[in-house]
Amino acid sequence: MIDMTLVNNTYHEDFRQFFDATESFFNNLDEHHQELTSLLTQKFQIIHAE
């Protein structure tokens, strides 16, 4: 989702522009709720590395 929305064919002149775009994405997650919901499952598991 992040890749499709934030990075997909977008050139950021410098790190600050990339950072601002990333921050904007996370600050507006509610706008992407439906797309994010379709990517998450009820069987999500956290795997701890040892």
Alpha carbons 34 and 7: distance in angstroms, whole number: 19
Mean pLDDT of the chain: 78
Angle at 37 (CA atoms; ends 5, 50), nearest 5 degrees: 90
Region label for 9, one of left (φ > 0), alpha (ψ between -120 and 50) or beta (otherwise): left
What per-residue confidence (pLDDT) applies to 3? 53
Q: For residue 48, give the 3-state DSSP assignment.
A: coil
Q: What pTM was computed for the model?
A: 0.54
Check residues 40 and 31 and name the one with the higher pLDDT.
Answer: 31
What does the pLDDT average to over 23-45?
80
